[in-house]
Structure formats: structure tokens, C-alpha cells
Chains A and B, each alone.
Chain A
């Protein structure tokens, strides 16, 4: 194909790109959908026809410029076409999470004042009808899947197919319809509101992030050139439509770069469909990568001895040389040969199994990925990278460029993005992708976006020596030591938790003289070690207090301190004292949340005596703690907990880097 994604033409709306793509990519595939067991596909020309027909159909029932149109459902071509059809008419799509319960939808639909909704099936129609009274603005519901809806009152309900037919009929009836369509598309402007995405918001009500066409087009183009995305990429759309990532990866970038997006047959067939498609460009949150690896490891446990040996042997080799090879570093000829053999015997089949044999660029984001997990994927030759983004930024804030990958950073500022760190440690950014504001929420907009365009992320972070951004914690959790140095509890806890022996860590230090931690050992891992070394123990408590265990933990703390010392901002929070807690932190006792997150303030209250002991210099402390047994009975554990000092390292000269451009 002679035409590339970036042929010098830059347009300002997606419908314009659609028309342009129908010309430049004509018969190349734009979208695929597995239906009735077969991959159905639409070329760019056909996609244009579909979008145009549906847009004319929508116009026919009154969709006008500026109207909001909700889009609810799973990843299906017709819902993606709705984005383009609505934007062509100057209307604003508002995708909503399909698994939201009716009440959540009511809030968003009402707040957005949506007049129209395009939904997947009966389930969503039922939800909307059940909240009809709360959303008076909603006039028309259009459904894609007619099953079960035959006997519904069709006064305000429309079948997608019938609107499409109406559009096609209008097109064949006179040439005016086509001319109208061209006029509508031409009227679209880059500065127009392109889409509204509601952020889930862990606190308070969801906020409607308004993104302009310019925001999305420019961010997509930056992303395309950063990863060299062209019309030959192929990707599978399986993440929620309402999430900014999917909107950028499966819509904005597809339209600007011209690549084909495949929609899976159903939510349950994603893994299988991915194997069939073998995407070259792929995005997944860490838990997807984790799930894939676990399922393979479980299967390998059942494999024959030879296979298991091959698997282990070559994965060991990959761990040694895989990453350097991927990063283009110097690796000896013999190692390269052995790696190639491993690729043929192990890594290749493994990648095929995971549907990643053609993967060129893979991203993980959303939360911190364990370094072991991350390295595993990279070592078998998959170019998995991390990025850091937000809805308010059209995804991209920082990303890792090829060859400059670290397991513990989120990369360099993306092209066109400026990032700086506020005095409070909070990460701020400014870019072409910065949102227009929150819909009908001036106050929140002012609190997030400064007049000169900088956006507060709410995350605390810093740049390491090579200019890579590291996110350390939510800004509100970050405190200060008495010396005034930054204290980020989660960062310290993570530094220790990556050791398999350590299950949970709670760090203290805000308003204190130094940083000190509680440690929970991992009973399975440490118990295994004890067995191998003939160390007898009767309970968690006994094992936790064992001198050998203290010695091991001390080594880990020392190692963590060594790493912390290497980072100017973190050097002051090296762990000076630690103790191994006499009981496991447990959700039943309220010490962890049900999703296994440490409840720091609760623990600080419950173990107040131990915290004081950490800071008053005592060597041991007798405590009684109430605990809940698995059968619900309550009891007391009594223990004398030993407190140990840890080795700390000298910090390098303090150099706080300025924001990189």
C-alpha cells in the first residue's frame, strides 16, 4: 500500500477521516466482527456507506447538532459506527459502561441530557425503560439486536436496521441525501465538542469529561507516530466503549492510521478470538497479562517431563538474554542462537497460544504491574510497554519508547505532552489532548485545570535520573517526614512487597522522624523455605518471630533501602526500623479491604503501641491483639514482638530534575 497513515493530510474530525479513508484505503478492511462463527468484514468504503446510511436515518428521527446521544453496549461495529454517524451530524456521543446498573445510568443520562440512546440489546432497553421517569430528556432509543423486543411499544423505540434502511432508501431516492451528508461532514470543526466520557470517580459522582475533536485527533496522531502505527496494524476491541483507552485505540487511532479493528463474537470468546486475529497492537490492564500467564503455568504443571524441562530451561535462558535482545543491546552469538532455538521450540508456541505471535506493540496501564510479570512477557520477545494516562488527557501523558523500558517507570512524556512536578509532588501535564472541561461542573474544572492549561493528575510522582516518570502514590496519601522530605507510603511498601517472602507491608513516617514498617511474611513461601531448612514451627506467630526469618527480612529491607537510596527523592524515606507482625493482616479483622488493600489508618489505631515502639527505640514490645478466627470466633493473640534496626545507605547528592519536555 503506497499511502501511509501520515500522508501529510491532517483533518480535524473523524467523519472527515472516514471519507478520506474510503478514498485512500478503499477496499482495505476497516472493521471485522465475528458473527455466526465467521469473521465478517467491512472495508473502509463499506464502513463509510454504513455510517452514512445510519447518520441519515438518525437525522430522520431528529438528531440535531449539539444533541447528546448515549451509546451503551459491548464492542460491536454498529456501536462504533454510531460514534462517527453522530459526529458527522455534529451530535455528541456519550458512551456509558454497559454493566452499570440502571441507577448509575440514570445519573449519567440525566446529567448529559441525552436525547437519544443507541444500545446493544433488550437488556439495555429494559434498563432504560425502567428509569424512564428519571431521564425526561431521553426521547428515542435505538437498539442493535432485535431479539425479544418485537412486542415492545415502538413509538420511541427503533431498530438500528430500520434506520439504516431508511438512510439507504433516502440515498437511492435522490442525490440530495448524499449532498446533505457531505455538507454536514464539512461543517464539523476541530474545536467542536467531539465526545463526552464519564469518569467512574472513586469518590463522588461521575464527571463528564468533554473532549474536542482536536484533542482526540491530535493525541491519536501523536500516538500513531510514537509507535509507528499504520494501516497494516490489526487490533481487537474488547475493553469498555466508555473507557477513554478503547475510544482512542479502537476508534481515534483506527480512523487516523487506517487500521482494522476486530470485534469479538462475545465477551466470553475474547481469548479465542484474539488467537484467531493475532493483533499487532494490543492493550491490556495488568490483570489480563497475569491471567494469561497463570493459565499457561497451570497447564505446564500437567505437562510431561521433557516438555516441562524444555519449558523451564528455555524460559531461564529468556530471562537472561531475552530483554537485552529485544532492546537491541549487544548479546553473544551463542546466546542469540540458543534464544532463536528457544523461540522455535517454546516462545513461539507460547506466543501463539496467547494470541500474540504478531504483536508489535503491547501496552499495559491502569495500575502497577509486577516487575516479574512484566519481564516475563518482554523476555519471550513481546514488546510490552507501560504508559500512564488519563481520560482528561486523551490517554497519553507518558509512555515508554521502544528500547527504553523499565519495569518500575511509566516512561518519558509522550510527544506533545509537557509534564512537571508540583512542589507538593503532584504530577501536572499540559498537551494538545487536554480536555475542554467537565460538563456542567465549572468548580471541578477549575480545581483540576489551571488557567494556563496545566492539569492536576492527583498522582504523586517524580522523574528518575534518565527522565522517566515514576508514579509513587495518590497525591493525597503522600506526606512529609519531619525533615520535610517527601514520604510516599505505597512506594515504600511496593519496594518490599515485590519480594516473594513478603506478603504485606505497612509503612509509617508522615510527620515522623524517619520511616518504619510493619511486615507480614508470606506463609506459603516462608513456610516452604522453613521446611527445606529443617526449621520447625507451629504457627504463623512462631515463624514470624524466628531469628532466621528476621535475618531474611532484614536482608530484603536492606536491599529495598539500597534501591531507595539511589533515588534522590526517596533516599530520606529509607526504612530505619522494622518489625515482623505477629499475626497476618486480615480483612475479617478490618485490617484489609475486601480487595486486599491495606487500611492504613485503621492499622495505625489498632497497633498504636507497636508504632510507638518503632519510634521510641525499644528492642521489643509485649502486645495483646484481638483477632477473628475463620469460624467467626474471637480470640486474643499475645506476643512479644521484636523490633529490628535496618541498614541505611548514604543518599547521592540531591538533584531534583526539572520537567522534561
Chain B
């Protein structure tokens, strides 16, 4: 009678890549819009199970980089190898199918829908029954719905948002909306989670909470995370490795302690007299 579901069932999907091996490899990628070069010849990789940060001053090309990774932009040059498969162009929904989920700099939720429904929406890519079955709401479709609902409840429990389960997200404070958005991304059980400024506009307490959740997602579920963030303190504490972009070029790529001491990085952030 007791539904005993533990966090152990919440692992990231098996993607055939062992922990510590290369999950995503960016090779010599360049992207330009007309004459504007957003990204120039950038290479770095993301290892399975790590938290990888992409940082840089405004306009450095960070969000463009995320958009390249999840297939929203197609780079003119270079290749991307994800889970051992090479690709140049990919549609965002194909990226989702391959196990890449993301959150956005500006929250992009369905404002009129409840927290529960928003996270449930994240499961829709996994629903096997077609819309006809789902409208019938019977038999296999019902069983499938119950199974997905359980997964969603685990995420709600994980993110401690039980009290807003039925609240329309438009009514929620910003910090909680960010959490719901993370929940929706988690619902896809991604093998790579892209977070675009997960702490933008948050107060200290909300940032601490969010850091905790990101670490827990990484540790508990084994999800590989690539994140963009402006708050240096947060980045240096959270991430295993940091890649630094400036004017679309890579200027550093190492563990936080070394990146922090790198003269190029300091110059890029503080500015140097030209």
C-alpha cells in the first residue's frame, strides 16, 4: 500500500557514456550572424557527471554557445559530438530526444498552468500513447499517466515545491518560477542539462537554495550539467571545470582555482587599458 519510491530511482537515463568520459565534445565551432562573429573557433568538452560552467562578460557568446549545443543555432564551421555521435545541424526537439534539456535566462513557463502541469509538460516527449489514447483517458494511457505523474511527484519532492503544486506559475515569485523551470527540465530525465543563468535576479537565500538543488541534481541523479552564470562566487563553488569566453573566443579552460588566477580572465572581467 505504501508507494516507496526513493531518490535512487531518479537517476539520469543511461546514455551509454561512462562517468568521467567525454559526453559532449565541441570541436572548432564558429558561428556568425551576417558579419557579426558570435563564436570563433571554440573547442571544449563536457565530461559525463561533471558540472561545467561557461562564463564571460556580457556579449561574450555564452548564450549563443548554449544555443549551438541544443541545436537552436547551426554553426557555420566545426563539429559537435554528443554521446559519440557527430552532428552539424539538429532541431531543438531532436536535441530533447537525445537527452538535452535546458532552462532559459528569462523564465519560459506556461504562466496560466499549475506547477504540476508545467512539469508534467516536460514529460510529454516521453509519452508513448498518441493523442487519441490520451483523450480517451483509459487503459494504457491512464497507466502511463500514473507512471509519469509519479516521476513528476518525485521531482516536486526533490525540489521541495509541494506547497505550490496547484498554484498557477504566473502567481509565483521569480525564485520559485526558476525552480519550476528546473523541474520541467528534470522531468525530461536529461543526460545533459543546460542552465542559462539559473540564479539571475535571485536574492542570496534563493541563490543558496538553487545551488543546493543544482549540486543535488548532479550528485543524486548523476546528471551532467553545463551552466552559464554571472555570479562568480556561485560558479567557482559549484563547478568542476570552467571555460571562459570573451568576444566569442575561448580565453581559459580549467578548474576554478586556476581560472580565477588567470591574468587573461582578470583582464577580461576588469578591463585593461588599451
Contact = CB atoms under 8 A, between A and B. Distances in A.
Given A146-B7, A147-B7, A148-B212, A37 B219 contact: no
Given A147-B216, A148-B216, A148-B219, A272 B150 contact: no
Contacts of B156: 36-37
Given A147-B158, A272-B163, 10 more contacts: A36-B150, A36-B154, A36-B156, A37-B153, A38-B3, A146-B7, A147-B216, A147-B220, A161-B6, A265-B163
Contact of B220 (A37, A150, A266, A269): A150
Interface in B208-224: 212, 215-216, 219-220
B165 interface: yes
B190 to A, nearest CB: 19
B76 interface: no
A220 B160 CA distance: 35
B7 A269 contact: no
Contacts of B150: 36
Interface in B1-33: 1-3, 5-7
B5 A266 contact: no
A268 B154 CA distance: 17
B254 interface: no
A631 interface: no
A148 B217 CA distance: 9
Contacts of B163: 265-266, 268-269, 272
B216 A40 contact: no
Contacts of B157: 35-36
A36 B153 contact: yes
Interface string B146-186: 00011001101110101101000000000000000000000
A36 B160 CA distance: 11
Interface string A99-141: 0000000000000000000000000000000000000000000
A41 interface: yes
Contacts of A148: 212, 215-216, 219-220
Given A148-B212, A150-B219, A37 B2 contact: no
A594 B165 CA distance: 36
A61 to B, nearest CB: 21
Interface in A31-76: 34-38, 40-42
Contact of A268 (B5, B153, B158, B162): B162
Given A148-B212, A150-B220, A269-B162, A36 B5 contact: yes
A470 B158 CA distance: 48
A73 to B, nearest CB: 14
Contacts of A146: 6-7
A151 B219 contact: yes
Contacts of B219: 148, 150-151
Interface of B: 1-3, 5-7, 149-150, 153-154, 156-158, 160, 162-163, 165, 212, 215-216, 219-220
A34 B165 CA distance: 13
Contacts of A151: 219
Contacts of A40: 1-3
Contacts of B6: 146, 161
A150 B218 CA distance: 12
Contacts of A42: 2
Interface of A: 34-38, 40-42, 146-148, 150-151, 161, 265-266, 268-269, 272
30 contacts: A34-B162, A35-B3, A36-B3, A36-B5, A36-B150, A36-B154, A36-B157, A37-B149, A37-B156, A37-B165, A38-B153, A41-B1, A41-B2, A146-B6, A147-B7, A147-B158, A147-B216, A148-B212, A148-B215, A148-B216, A148-B220, A150-B219, A151-B219, A161-B6, A265-B162, A266-B160, A266-B163, A269-B162, A269-B163, A272-B163
Contacts of B160: 266
A38 B215 CA distance: 27
A219 B158 CA distance: 40
A36 B4 CA distance: 10
A652 to B, nearest CB: 54
A53 to B, nearest CB: 14
A622 to B, nearest CB: 50
A148 B6 CA distance: 13
Contacts of B2: 40-42
Contacts of A150: 219-220
A36 B154 CA distance: 6
Contacts of B220: 147-148, 150
Nearest to B153: A36
Nearest to B157: A36
A265 B163 CA distance: 8
6 A-B pairs closest in CB distance = A268-B163, A36-B153, A265-B162, A37-B153, A269-B163, A40-B2
A41 B3 CA distance: 10
A151 B222 CA distance: 13
Nearest to A38: B3
Nearest to A150: B219
Contacts of B1: 40-41
B7 A37 contact: no
B216 A37 contact: no
A266 B162 contact: yes
Most chain A beta-carbon neighbours within 10 Å: one of B153, B156, B157, B215: B157
Contacts of A268: 162-163
A161 B8 CA distance: 13
Nearest to B216: A148
A41 B2 CA distance: 7
B172 to A, nearest CB: 13
Most chain A beta-carbon neighbours within 10 Å: one of B158, B163, B165, B219: B163
Contacts of A272: 163
Nearest to A42: B2
Nearest to B8: A146
Contacts of A35: 3, 157
A380 B198 CA distance: 48
Most chain A beta-carbon neighbours within 10 Å: one of B5, B162, B216: B162
Contacts of B216: 147-148
Contacts of B162: 34, 37, 265-266, 268-269
Contacts of A269: 162-163
A38 B1 CA distance: 11
A161 B4 CA distance: 11
A199 B190 CA distance: 49
A37 B161 CA distance: 11
A36 B158 CA distance: 10
Contacts of B7: 146-147
